[in-house]
Amino acid sequence: MAERRVNVGWAEGLHARPASIFVRAATATGVPVTIAKADGSPVNAASMLAVLGLGAQGGEEIVLAADAEGADVALDRLAKLVAEGLEELPETV
């Protein structure tokens, strides 16, 4: 199982627009990814309701995980997106 721990780079956390950006990016990877707070249970990263339900705040640590072919590349890209508070999934890491 590949895993990345990263702090949320969006000041407002994973709410509304940033959550939407993240969910679209997670879906676009084509890899089943989970997201969790550092001390919480993982949820489907491609589910808007699940991601909003985390209540992840800006600066808070989250854990991204996947166990499929291409997981490392997908997690690296998603981690960069979250850490830097980007508006879209980076083409490369």
**Annotated catalytic sites, by residue?**
15
- Where residue 13 falls (left for φ over 0; alpha for ψ -120 to 50; beta otherwise) is left
Amino acid identity of 26? A
Residue 27 token pair: 């879906």
